[in-house]
Each structure stands twice: as C-alpha cells, then as structure tokens.
Amino acid sequence: MKFSRRKFLKTGTLATTAGVVACQTDPKSGKSNPHSTAGTPLVISTWKQPKANAAAVAVVERRGRALDAVEAGVRVPEADPNDTSVGYGGRPDRDGHVTLDACIMDENGNAGSVTFMEGIMHAVSVARLVMEKTPHVMLSGDGATQFARQNGFKKENLLTDDSKKAWEKWLETADYKPVANIERHDTIGMLAIDAAGNISGACTTSGMAYKLHGRVGDSPIIGAGMYVDNEIGGACATGLGELVLRTLSSFLAVELMRQGSTPQQAAEEAVKRIARKLKPTDDSQVGILTVNKKGEHGAYSLQKGFNYTISQNGTTHILDAPAERQ
Ligand code: ASP
C-alpha cells in the first residue's frame, strides 16, 4: 500500500507518540532552536522530511557515524515516487530526462558528488562511492552512471507515469523555458551531528523541473548546496540553485560561523548576501540551514514558506524559517 506523504505528515504531526511537533521559529530573536543541547546527536533537513530524519536518527541513536546517517536519511526521498524533486519520481528536464545531482561530505573534509546523472536512483550513495573509491570529488553524466553500474548499482527508469504526464502537460503550454519551482522545492539537504560530535552533510535533487538538458544546480557543488567543516559546523541550501551557486552560500555560512557568527546570523547573512548582490526576482526562493559544533542551528530564507525538519532528543520538529521578504 502506498503511504502518501501528505497523510504521513498529518498523522505524524498529530500523533504525539510519533514525536513530531510542528512549531514556529521566532524571527526576531532568531532563537529558533528549542533543543540545542550540546553533545547530543542532531539531524536537520530542508523541508518536511520526517521520514528521512527518522532514518538518519536511527543511525546516530545507535552511535553510528553522521556520514552514515545523512546517507540513510536522504535515500528516503530518493526512493519516494511522490517526492517530485528528488530521485525516483523527480520531474524531468525539458527533454523528458530525469537527471540527478547529489553530494556528500564527511567529518574529515572528504567529499564526493555526482552531477547530471541518469538512471540511478540513489545518487547520494554514488556520490559517497566517488568520495571513498576514487581520487576524485565529482563525476558527471554518463561517466557517473557508468561508474555506478560498475559498482553494482541498478540502472532504472526514474521517470514515473505521474512525472511523465506532468511533463507532457507542461509541454502543451510551455514556452520551452525551464521553470523554477517557486512554491515548493523538495530538494533535500541534510546535516547530522553524531554522538561523537562529528558533523556530516548530504544534498540530493533532480533539480529544477523542466530545466535545460545538461543544467546542473547548486546541490552537488561542495560549498554551494552543502558544506561541512567539522571544526566549525555545516550548512546546506535549497531553492534557486543559480543564486546559491553565485554566492557559494553553504561555504559562506560556515566561514561566517568560523568568524564568530551564530548559526542563525550566518544563515541570515548568506541569504541577505543573495538579496543584496544578486537582486533576485520576487518569485525566487532560497532557504539555508546551518548547525554549529554546539548543536545550535539556524534557518533563513528569501521568501516565507521555507520549512525544515529538526530531530534531537527524541523529538522531531517541523519549523518555519524566518524570511527576508514577508
Ligand atoms: N537547489 C535545487 C537546484 O537548483 C532546487 C531545489 O532546491 O529545489 O537544482
């Protein structure tokens, strides 16, 4: 039986036994972290991702590595056909190809990524293999698919019937231009801190719906879609990748924390930098999440509507991020 994402969220939010609580961030104080206990594992991800967080929490709770946690976590939406911005079921590019971007980074500064990869559901696991089995950081396109196949990944058709229908409908009226998903991006960026206090991160997406064939966004670019420095903290981003790429938002946020900013200040400045320098259109969205070594977090977005999922101390909260534009 299919378990709809919407239904799950509803159930999870209402059922206290599920440990999912919906609450708000205070935009003024930026004190959005109701559970910043240092030294306890933490998982934070972009958008409403309680199932992904649960998979990651299961790893850190049994004293597993943050790296294993973020991989396990983001694999959940990668396999979910109802998540239309990640992996299987992701919306295709304008030519009907589902092309995936993903990256992963561990506590030792090792990083792996795949871009513009087709036919392999778990892009994050291929990125991890690039990190662990090759002297490289990034593989792209057919080379990434070939590498995955050589390492035992199954080649699959990732275009679901629903995605195909949506694309065909889009073709009827489209001006044949890529369309940014303005209201909702399901790209998952996830950061985790394990019981040893180590931080890792991952990010995975099918990118902008109906993008130009070959387009790569911020998500697989280390420092743009995600960045971790285990001495300082981590950051990840979602939204219009072209804006994030031009300011390397995740790297910027981590460097701001290195210079003394709180996670909230760092997330805000990274978004404000985009607002100030790139002058994005009113319908552009970018959301940034940050964590530091103390287990404090920050979240900020260009527009209202960006939410995120944080798990710590046995509970999962879905929080609304404060925004630059109300
Ligand atoms: N950042 C992703 C991209 O530009 C899209 C998203 O977050 O939904 O590819």
Residue-by-residue pLDDT tens, the chain, 326 positions: 232 333 322 223 322 223 444 443 443 444 444 434 456 899 999 999 999 999 999 999 999 999 999 999 999 999 999 988 899 989 999 999 999 999 999 999 999 999 999 999 999 999 999 999 999 999 999 999 999 999 999 999 999 999 999 999 988 887 766 555 544 566 999 999 999 999 999 999 999 999 999 999 999 999 999 999 999 999 999 999 999 999 999 999 999 999 999 999 999 999 999 999 999 998 899 999 999 999 999 999 999 999 999 999 999 999 999 999 98
Is the minimum distance from the CB of 185 to ligand 1 under 6 angstroms?
yes
Q: Ligand 1 pocket test: which of 181, 187, 204, 271 has the largest number of ligand atoms within 8 Å of its C-beta?
A: 187
pLDDT at 178: 57
Three-state SS at 112: strand
DSSP tag of 312: E
Ligand 1 centroid distance, CA of 177 (Å): 16
Is the minimum distance from the CB of 238 to ligand 1 under 6 angstroms?
yes
Burial class (CB in 10 A: 0-12, 13-18, 19+), 252: buried
Q: Ligand 1 pocket test: which of 101, 185, 226 has the largest number of ligand atoms within 8 Å of its C-beta?
A: 185
Is the minimum distance from the CB of 217 to ligand 1 under 6 angstroms?
yes
Query: All domains of the chain, ordered by start, with CATH?
Result: 43-288 (3.60.20.30)
pLDDT at 39: 63
**CB-based contact 83:5 (threshold 8 Å):** yes
**CB-based contact 299:306 (threshold 8 Å):** yes
Is the minimum distance from the CB of 205 to ligand 1 under 6 angstroms?
yes
Q: Name the residue among 240, 180, 233, 235 with its Cα closest to residue 210.
A: 180
Name the residue at shortest CA distance from atom 4 of ligand 1.
241
**CB-based contact 121:156 (threshold 8 Å):** yes
What pTM, to 2 d.p., does this model score?
0.88
Name the residue at shortest CA distance from atom 8 of ligand 1.
185
Is the minimum distance from the CB of 297 to ligand 1 under 6 angstroms?
no
Ligand 1 centroid distance, CA of 297 (Å): 21
Residue 187 annotated in active site: yes
Ligand 1 centroid distance, CA of 185 (Å): 7
Is the minimum distance from the CB of 220 to ligand 1 under 6 angstroms?
no
Q: Of these residues, 187, 247, 290, 316, which one is catalytic?
A: 187
- Who contacts 208 (Cβ-Cβ below 8 Å, separation ≥6)? 178, 179, 180, 181, 215, 217, 240, 241
Three-state SS at 110: coil
Q: Name the residue among 42, 220, 5 with its Cα closest to residue 131.
A: 220
Rounded distance, CA 46 to CA 44, Å?
7
Burial 122-154 (b: 16+ CB within 10 A, else e): bbbbbbbbbbeeeeebbbbeeebbebbeeeebe
